[in-house]
Chain A
Amino acid sequence: MEETLKKKDKILSAADIRTTFHTHGRTVQAVRGVSLYVESGEILAVVGESGSGKSVLMKSVMGLMPDNAEVKADQLTFAGQDMLGMDQEQLRKMRGKEMAMIFQDPMTALNPLKTIGSHLMEVLKRHRGMDKEAAKKEAVAVLNQVGIPSPEKRLGQYPHEFSGGMRQRVLIAMALCCKPKLLIADEPTTALDVTIQAQILDLLKSLQEETGMSIILITHDLGVVASLSHRIAVMYGGLLMEEGTTEEIFYTPKHPYTRALLHAVPKPHSGSKERLEPIPGMAPSLIDPPSGCPFAERCKFACERCTKEIPQYRTYSTTQRALCIYSGEELDHKEGEVESHG
């Protein structure tokens, strides 16, 4: 009984997603078996350095991968529907309606030759079957909702007449047109100024509260999500390294990579003098991924075992698990050793 209730609450549930690119005779394993879920009404942050496979994972979920990519999964359920059994046409009809996605660079995301109004009205006509008049009215309403001043006037303007932040708002408005159950925001603020970043994130949070939709917020910056997300999933080298509630990730992180990421986040209350500790080394190549733990090359706890096999998940609570051969406790212990020796 409890099991079914819990399942119902999950808007998205994916098991073992694997995405492989075939280019020029080489294969790139961008996503190497990721399982994750999103509860309805929550903000899940997916965090990881660039190149860790976050965008590919999300595009795989949306069915947006190009022809040279192969997406496999054991399970992909959205709002009770089995997406794996759907054909291209069924997936297309869901996109922009039940699940929407916005992207990193708002400057290039809009067609430069079409007005903001026609961008919005196209979606409304397509998915909600509105006529021109109704679509126009609704477009004004959603522009209002995302905080764009004088929306009637803005409707007739072209993308180049909008700033980056305003364009991202337009894209969010496009996403809101059909009141989707899930909004995937792929680094929506990376291309924007810091002050604008905060405004857009606030907007996303308040829209989430207002509409009750779920949001997957992708970012490479853990600092951004602390006050925003309910849960956090940490990705590295095409794998999910750790997931947990925001509290768990910030206060009791288990995985060495998560810990390293946290060291790289400026602490809001500490003086600006404190130096950030960047993670040494580079993200692994996904062309010939290491056979063992992808983080092994950069992990200060790495031992021989780490390079031999991909570790198993250890579960720490109903919400937290991490992919490391060592438990959190063992790592705490080792950390103590390292510090006392160093």
Chain B
Amino acid sequence: MARYILKRILTAIPMVFLITVLCFALMHFAPYDAIDAMTTPKMSQETINLIKAKYGYDQPVYVQYIRWLDGIMNGNFGYSIVTKQSIASDLAVRLPNTVKLVLPAYLTAYFLAVVLGLLAGANKNKRTDKIIDAISSVGIAVPSFWFAMLLIFALGYKLKILPIVGMHAVGKESSIADFLKHFIMPFLTLTVSFMPANIKYVRSSTLTQFSEDYVMVQRAFGATKSEIMFKHVCKNVLLPVVTRFGMAFRLLITGSIITETVFSWPGVGPYFIKAIQGMDYPIVMIILVLSSTMVILGNLFSDILYCLIDPRIKEMG
């Protein structure tokens, strides 16, 4: 097993490397680059060359890449072209805000999805199942920004019980109650957007498990409905569900771009959108790299977890 895990880790490293190359190349060959953002057509060629030299753009591409990669590894993510701020220190403020929103929403959505999915799967074709399945189908079809608008309209505009934008009211930065007030709507929006697909997943995996032979065997040996559910089916359903957690890693960075933007939540989302609009390509690049790295780390995490909790895989490697 240790060998398998080691192998998995070793294959993940070149993948991350490949991603950095890819992101860099994409941005490098984009028609509009950092120099265009910093210069104006009126500038003389000398000035432009000076600026190029200052930021290292006069070097060959591979040197630029190595410098950039070296910077990332040392926590130096470069500077915004537009604001000239350090990206690392911007993200140090924004990432925690995103995590504060995404993590609770994701955990809530996951917990509810497991409960509702199991409930639906255990009551196949009965009323409970039909209601839960219908709700999750609708949930999948409804775009999250639309749901956010609905919330804003009802709770913020009509009832005026919740603030519409931001994370804090000015001057109340340390008030938890104030934070929670701002938190509720984006939290609800995210939870509702994460939940339906997960409910469907848990439900169908429950249905599959209930049709397995071992369930019939357990019935033949006098197991009660709840014994079958909690001692047998649950374990088999939760195994893939737990390992799906890894897939959520990415969400911690780019999981709520739309929601954060709608509610002006000071997280990574609006920062990313603004960077795209302003062609602030070092920011875009870093966020892409971080987010794809999280995908790979997440997969790695899933595989290792699977390996640790599934007795069938423990034997391998």
- A101 & B220 in contact (Cβ 8 Å cutoff): yes
Question: Once the chains bind, are B232 and A126 in contact (CB under 8 Å)?
Answer: no
Set A64, A114, A158, A160: member contacting B220, Cβ < 8 A: A64
Interface string of B225-255 (1 = CB under 8 A from A): 0010001100110010000000000000000
Which residues of chain B (208-225) have a CB below 8 Å from chain A?
212-214, 216-224
- Which residue on A lies nearest to B238, using beta carbons? A113
Query: Is B173 part of the contact surface with A, judged by Cβ < 8 Å?
Result: no
Tell me which of B219, B224, B232, B310 contacts A111 (CB under 8 A). Answer: B232
Residues of B within 8 A of A62 (CB): 220
> How far is B219's CA from A102's CA once the two chains are assembled, in angstroms?
11
* B312 at interface by CB-CB < 8 Å: yes
Q: Does A174 lie at the interface of the complex (its beta carbon under 8 Å from any beta carbon of B)?
A: yes
Stretch at the interface among A1-9, A73-81, A91-99: A91-99
Among B217, B223, B224, contact of A110 (Cβ-Cβ < 8 Å): B217
| Nearest-Cβ distance from residue A86 to partner chain B, whole angstroms | 13
Kindly state whether residue B31 has any CB partner on chain A within 8 Å. no
Does A152 interact with chain B (Cβ within 8 Å)?
no
* Cα separation A341 to B221 with both chains bound (whole Å): 56
Q: Do B214 and A122 have beta carbons less than 8 Å apart?
A: no
User: What residues of chain B lie closer than 8 Å to A127, measured between beta carbons?
Assistant: 222
Alpha-carbon distance between A100 and B239 when the two chains are bound, in angstroms: 30
B317 within 8 Å of A by Cβ?
no
A114 to B218, CA, bound (A): 12
A123, CB-defined interface residue at 8 Å = yes
Chain B proximity mask over A58-70: 1 for CB below 8 Å, otherwise 0: 0000101000000
Min Cβ gap A135→B in Å is: 14
A103 vs B232: C-alpha distance in the bound complex, in angstroms?
Answer: 18
> A127–B222 Cα gap in the complex (Å)?
8
Distance in angstroms from B129 CB to nearest chain A CB is: 13
In the complex where A112-B236, A122-B231 touch, is A95 in contact with B311 (Cβ < 8 A)?
Answer: no
Question: Is B46 on the interface with A (CB-CB < 8 A)?
Answer: no
* Bound complex: CA A108 to CA B236 (Å): 13
Complex alpha-carbon distance, A127 and B224, angstroms:
12
For B214, the chain A residues whose CB sits under 8 A away are 108-112
CA distance A165 to B216 in the complex (A): 20
Give Cα A101 to B216, complex, Å: 10
Query: Is A95 within 8 A of B312, CB to CB?
Result: no
Total residues of chain B contacting the partner, CB 8 A: 22
In the assembled complex, the Cα of A5 lies from the Cα of B91 at a distance in Å of 88
Which chain B residues lie closer than 8 Å to A95 at the CB level? Answer: 219-222
**Interface contact B315-A108, CB-CB below 8 Å:** no
Contact present for B222 and A113 (CB under 8 Å): no
From A91, which residue of chain B is reached at the shortest CB distance? B222
* Contact for A113 among B216, B218, B227, B311, CB less than 8 A: B311
- When the two chains form their complex, are residues B235 and A113 in contact, meaning their CB atoms are under 8 A apart? yes
A103-B213, A105-B213, A114-B235 given; A174·B315 CB < 8 A: no
Distance of B149 from chain A, by nearest CB (Å): 42
Q: What are the residues of chain A within 8 A of B218 when measuring CB–CB?
A: 111
A140 on interface, CB distance cutoff 8 Å: no
What's the Cα separation between A6 and B14 when bound, in Å? 78
Within 8 Å by CB of A174, from B212, B221, B235, B239, lies B221
Closest beta carbon of chain A to B234's beta carbon, Å:
10
| Bound-state Cα–Cα, A113 to B239, Å | 9
- Min distance, Cβ A139 to any Cβ of chain B, angstroms: 14
A209 close to B (CB within 8 Å): no
Task: List chain A residues, Cβ under 8 A from B223.
Answer: 96, 122, 126
Interfacial chain A residues near B311, Cβ < 8 Å: 112-113, 158, 160
Bound CA–CA A109/B218 (angstroms): 9
Q: Taking the complex as formed, is A335 at the interface, i.e. its CB lies under 8 A from any CB of chain B? A: no
With A62-B220, A122-B223 as contacts: A109 and B235 at CB distance below 8 Å: no
Q: How far is the CB of A145 from chain B (nearest CB, A)?
A: 17
Closest Cβ of chain A: how far from B314's Cβ, in Å?
9
Report B-chain residues with C-beta under 8 Å of the C-beta of A215. Answer: none
Does the CB pair B221–A123 fall under 8 Å? yes
Checking B213, B221, B232 against A96 with a beta-carbon cut-off of 8 angstroms, the contacting residue is: B221
A174 / chain B contacts, CB cutoff of 8 Å: 221
Q: For residue A100, give the distance in angstroms from its CB to the closest CB of chain B.
A: 7
Please list 11 pairs of residues, one from A and one from B, whose beta carbons are closer than 8 Å in the complex, sorted by A's number.
A62-B220, A103-B213, A108-B212, A111-B235, A112-B311, A112-B312, A122-B223, A123-B221, A123-B222, A126-B227, A171-B217
Closest 8 CB pairs of A and B: A96-B221, A96-B222, A108-B213, A95-B222, A158-B311, A101-B220, A111-B214, A109-B217
Residues of B in contact with A (beta carbons under 8 Å apart): 212-214, 216-224, 227, 231-232, 235-236, 239, 310-312, 315
